[in-house]
Structures are given as structure tokens and as C-alpha cells.
Amino acid sequence: RRTRANTANNLQIRANGRKPELNDLELVTQQYIERGKSVGAISYIQCLQTFQRTGRLLGIFFNNYDVLLQPTLSCTSLKLGSVRMDGSIESFERAAA
């Protein structure tokens, strides 16, 4: 939810008052923006607090360790074209997971 609200906010800032045309953005980005506009303040604050808490925990972790190694994907290499920006958010997130 935070990502969707953040996308909506960032586009508003970067557009400098210009309303993007339909062809300016991928379909998934358009959907993130529309859904992001409906994220309530309490939900956004809860997500932000979780993000900040995670940052503090990572800070504690790095007091004892210099490096955190982890995979960049949750699966082996994705097939070319499997993550598409011209469908629904659900299909995008399912393919990217």
C-alpha cells in the first residue's frame, strides 16, 4: 500500500502540475497511482512505521556484521517478458514475486 501511495505522490511532484496523458505511463503504473490515491492516512502511517522499524533493526544487525548476502530474486531467473507492465497490478506482482 505504501508503494502505491508513494507512486501517486512522486508522480504528482515530478509532473510539475501537468496531468500525464494516457500514453505517458505503463498500465501498471497508472493502476498503482489510482489505488495509491485511496490509501488512508492510518494505513499509510502503519506501513511507514513498519518500514522505519525494519530500518532500525537492520541498523542493530549491522553493528555486528559488515555485509548481508541474500538472493535478489525469490526464484531462479525469470523468463524474458514474464514481468509485464501492460496488464493488471495483480499479474505484475504475481510474476515479480
**Rounded to two decimals, what is the model's pTM?**
0.61
C-alpha cell at 60: 542493530
State the Cα–Cα distance between residues 28 and 37, nearest whole angstrom. 14
Q: Report residue 46 CA to chain centroid gap.
A: 16
pLDDT over 70, % of the chain: 97
| pLDDT (tens digit per residue) in 4-61 | 788 877 877 777 777 777 688 889 888 888 888 888 889 889 988 999 999 999 999 9
